[in-house]
Structure 1
Amino acid sequence: MLAAGAVILTLNVLLLGRQIIIFQSLSLLGYCIAPLDVGIFICMLRPPVIAKVVVAGVTLGWSSWAAYPFISTAVNPQRKALVLYPVLLMYVSLGFLIIAID
């Protein structure tokens, strides 16, 4: 899932007009997904479902907040929403996987 998301996000930024630096794409996938990884490890301890939802929400917000600076430097200001949407979609799908860990 992460590999497909990485390819789609990189192509999205390339098609929107600016060349993405390889370091930025690696940072987006490594540094920004790290909070979701922490959430996965917390939810593997089998907390109640409401705790999983809270952990997934906090880590989703943290990952989105971390990804915004990388995206804002990669594309034109008028096209930020076009790049943010697939990133947030990927992070939300990972957040649902965090909640689904059983």
Structure 2
Amino acid sequence: MEDVDIAPIATSAAAVVQLDEEAESTLDEPISVTLKRDLLMVFEKFFMVLIPRLNNKRILHDWDLWGPLILCVTLAMMLRDTARDDQKSLVFSGVFVIVWCGAAVVTLNSKLLGGTLSFFQSVCVLGYCLLPLVAGTLIIRTLALMSLASVPVRSVVVLLGLAWALFASMGFLGDSQPVNRKALAVYPMFLFYFVISWLIFVQPVSD
């Protein structure tokens, strides 16, 4: 009778037990601890976008939509505040539609081209990489208070934010596309961030 190697079975069983214990400990922990952990995870991803590294793929494995939602709401509120009174609700809802529908379209295009990431992983990265553009919007609004938000200044800020967003997103998503189709995946991504950049550039510089 052949001997059966039980080491892999034992290892798998131990892993399952460990996962069960972690799940139970998560369910039993206070809400404040859970919120603190989630917030730290979101800010860690913000840091990954601010200082993108080509070998940093943790954002792909531990995906979430809290960060993209925060950035989308923040951007929509800032653009809404500078819009005309009769366009505030339209601008707010328009930003939401552009961000989420645009990210979904870019993701579907990536999947059709043979991308290896899941739908929510891609949407997560695209949403988090809005951070440079949201930061650019805040800078423009701050400069507007000092009457320094001229067209050349806004152009430089928006172009830097666009370049940063594209660089960060490609650093996370670049390896997920076939080499011969990478350009076809980058073009819709560029259009996605370009449209958002244009909305930021044309925003009124005063309330």
Check the 8 A contact 1:71/1:84 in 2, yes or no: no
| Secondary structure at the counterpart of residue 137 of structure 2 | helix
Tell me, in whole angstroms, the C-alpha distance in 2 between the residues paired with 1:72 and 1:66.
10
| Structure 1 residue aligned with 2:157 | 55
Consecutive unaligned residues of structure 1, counting only runs of 5 or more, are none
Tell me, in whole angstroms, the C-alpha distance in 1 between the residues paired with 2:179 and 2:123.
18
| Secondary structure at the counterpart of residue 168 of structure 2 | helix
| Secondary structure at the counterpart of residue 44 of structure 1 | helix
User: Are 1:33 and 2:122 matched, yes or no?
Assistant: no
Change (3 A) 1:99 1:18: closer
User: Are 1:3 and 2:105 matched, yes or no?
Assistant: no
Tell me, in whole angstroms, the C-alpha distance in 2 between the residues paired with 1:77 and 1:9.
17
Tell me, in whole angstroms, the C-alpha distance in 2 between the residues paired with 1:76 and 1:29.
22
Out of 19-28 and 78-87, give the one that drifted further. Answer: 19-28
Q: What TM-score does the superposition give when structure 2 sets the normalisation length?
A: 0.46
User: Are 1:88 and 2:200 matched, yes or no?
Assistant: no
Tell me, in whole angstroms, the C-alpha distance in 2 between the residues paired with 1:53 and 1:62.
14
Which of 141, 156, 172 lines up with 1:44 in the alignment?
141
User: Are 1:16 and 2:118 matched, yes or no?
Assistant: no
Check the 8 A contact 2:110/2:177 in 1, yes or no: yes
Q: What TM-score does the superposition give when structure 1 sets the normalisation length?
A: 0.89
1:90: Cα distance to partner? 1.1
1:24: Cα distance to partner? 3.9
1:68: Cα distance to partner? 1.0
Whichever residue aligns with residue 5 of structure 1, its letter is G
1:71: Cα distance to partner? 2.5
Consecutive unaligned residues of structure 2, counting only runs of 5 or more, are 1-97
User: Which structure is richer in relative contact order (CA contacts within 8 A, separation 6 or more)?
Assistant: 1
Query: Over alpha carbons, which structure has the higher Rg?
Result: 2
Check the 8 A contact 1:24/1:70 in 2, yes or no: no
1:43: Cα distance to partner? 1.5
Q: Alignment RMSD, CA only?
A: 1.4
- Give the paired residue count: 101
| Secondary structure at the counterpart of residue 20 of structure 1 | coil
Moved runs in structure 1, 4+ residues, more than 6 A?
Answer: none
1:42: Cα distance to partner? 1.2
The sequence identity of aligned pairs, in percent, is 31
Check the 8 A contact 2:102/2:192 in 1, yes or no: yes
Tell me, in whole angstroms, the C-alpha distance in 2 between the residues paired with 1:73 and 1:25.
16
